[in-house]
Amino acid sequence: MSDELILVVEDEEDIQELLEYTLVNAGYRVDVTERGEEALTLVDEHPPSLMVLDLMLPGLDGLEVCRRLKGSDLTRELPVIVLTAKGEEEDVIAGFEAGADDYITKPFSPKVLAARVAAVLRRSPASRPDAEGALNYGEIRIHPGRHEVTVDGRLANLTHTEFRILHFLASRPGWVFSRTQIVRGIHGEDYPVTGRSVDVQVASLRKKLGEASRHITTVRGVGYKLGE
């Protein structure tokens, strides 16, 4: 049994049971709740390694739960996988805008879900070695080990996905990456994210970088690059 604790926030009992069975068999410890308010309390009392979050919950909905987690310095690094029946493009975009690290639609494959959980945990900040060197571009400094970005020494409060996009672009400054390449680079193959969601993430990233956002260039009809 792994030391990693997964918090499942789901109000349908049969899906709760399927998720718990799947994750326990994958070697994780599992907590389950059906309410968003209780999920926030459990995060404080028993901090999980990752949250699997339904959007349509009684009381506090999943989007608001995600926003609150990602808006707090204490919990913004907690990986959140949204698991929901809401699969329209605007729903997916809303989930990533709220800070979700992954988005899975119902009905889902338990094996795929377990693989997604393992993938997100592997790339979470806690699994990154501090020995990795920082990347620098102009006034932007990217600390992979600490999962931090500073601009002129000021901490930029990026979501997990925003950080990964910036780090991906900074790994090869001057190279132009398509939206598909960016998605594959930060999430892997066969990831159901549209080009529009990448644009939303980059727009949010630019806003948080302020004047330093000038280093991220849009290449019309292709994608994005960092630098000239």
Question: What would the pLDDT profile of 13-34 be if each residue is shown by its tens digit?
Answer: 999 999 999 999 999 999 999 9
pLDDT tens across 166-179, in order? 988 988 788 888 88
Q: Are strands 29-33 and 216-219 parallel, antiparallel or unpaired?
A: unpaired
**Mean of pLDDT values over 212-223:** 91
pLDDT value of residue 130 = 33
Place domain 5-126 in its CATH homologous superfamily.
Answer: Response regulator (3.40.50.2300)
**What's the one-letter identity of residue 157?**
N
Domain boundary assignment for the chain: 5-126, 129-226
**Domain 129-226 of CATH type 3.40.470.10:** no
Which tokens go with 56? 């349509």
Between 102 and 52, residue with greater pLDDT: 52
